[in-house]
C-alpha cells in the first residue's frame, strides 16, 4: 500500500525530529570530550583519561553521525518523491 502525501510529510517531519535529537546528543558528547580535555590539561598524568582521549570522538559519536547521514538520505529521497523536479 502506497503512502499518502500527508503520511510522507509526517514521516519526513519525524525523521527531521530524530536528526535534531541526534544533533543535540552529539553536541552533548562533544561537550563531554571538551571537559575531558580540560581535565587532562590540569592532570596530564591521568592514564585512563589519556587513553580515553586517544579514542575520541568515540564509537557513540560515530554511530550517531552514521544515523544522521542515513536519515538525511532517506529524507532527501522522500522529499524527492514529494516534490519532483519539474521538466522544462
pLDDT for 28: 93
pLDDT for 85: 86
pLDDT for 60: 84
Can you give the pLDDT of all 88 residues of the chain as single tens digits? 778 889 999 999 999 999 999 999 999 999 998 999 999 999 999 998 888 888 776 778 889 999 999 999 999 999 999 999 885 5
Kindly report the number of other CB atoms within 10 A of residue 62's CB atom: 10
pLDDT for 41: 93
| 41 phi-psi bin (left φ>0, alpha ψ -120 to 50, beta other) | alpha
Contact call for residues 75 and 12 (beta carbons, < 8 A): yes
pLDDT for 2: 79
Amino acid at each position: 500500500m502506497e503512502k499518502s502525501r500527508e503520511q510522507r510529510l509526517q514521516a519526513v517531519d519525524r525523521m527531521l525530529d530524530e536528526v535534531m535529537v541526534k544533533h543535540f546528543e552529539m553536541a552533548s558528547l562533544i561537550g563531554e570530550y571538551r571537559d575531558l580535555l580540560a581535565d587532562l590539561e590540569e592532570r596530564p598524568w591521568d592514564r585512563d583519561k589519556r587513553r580515553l582521549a586517544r579514542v575520541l570522538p568515540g564509537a557513540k559519536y560515530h554511530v550517531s553521525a552514521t544515523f544522521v547521514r542515513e536519515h538525511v538520505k532517506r529524507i532527501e529521497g522522500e522529499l524527492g518523491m514529494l516534490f519532483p523536479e519539474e521538466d522544462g
